[in-house]
Amino acid sequence: MKFFIKRGAACVDGFTIYNYNAEPLYTARVDASSSLRIVMTDSENQNVSTIKFNNFVLNYFTIRCSRRFYALVPCINKQFSFAIYGSTFRFIGNLADGRFSMLNSNGEVIMTQKKCWTQQGEGYEVNITEGQYHIFMLSVALCADIYIALTESHPIPT
């Protein structure tokens, strides 16, 4: 399944996730009142995922989707990655290029994310091969885009 993520003019404007035919499937609205919180809804305005950026002792994201809870801790070494707690998946990539991959426990690539030009402008192409986890994987892809947007505006110490 191929999706396209388009960020609003600023990180706080939110995101829209499109299918291959450029039809909007999900909307991610940002609430930056006390902390950065993103709620992803489907076309029927049903909440499918909640992402929160936490800034307590260290910077990390939490994701609530599909009745599960995940924590993503950004790790920057030679490559960028998220340590994902609550899952056996690994997320690695390159911040500068905007290219990322999600691997399953066997090391097989189950999601790729890359910067690209969409019909709606600059965004990300997300290709997911594990359909049953697509909401979680789209949420992780949003976390990567949010992390990039936050580090562009003011660097986050790691």
pLDDT for residue 120 = 72
Flag whether pLDDT at 72 surpasses 60.
Answer: yes
User: At which residue do the structure tokens 């690994």 appear?
Assistant: 90
97: confidence class by pLDDT, cuts 50, 70, 90: confident
Number of H helices, E strands in the chain: 1, 12
Angstrom distance (rounded) from CA 83 to CA 64: 16
In which element (H, E) is residue 93 found?
strand 90-94
Q: How high does pLDDT run on average in the chain? A: 87
pTM summary value: 0.88
Nearest alpha-carbon partner for 113 in 123, 83, 49: 123
pLDDT for residue 155 = 47
pLDDT for residue 51 = 96
CA dist list (Å): 150 to 25, 84, 88, 123, 142: 25, 19, 26, 16, 12
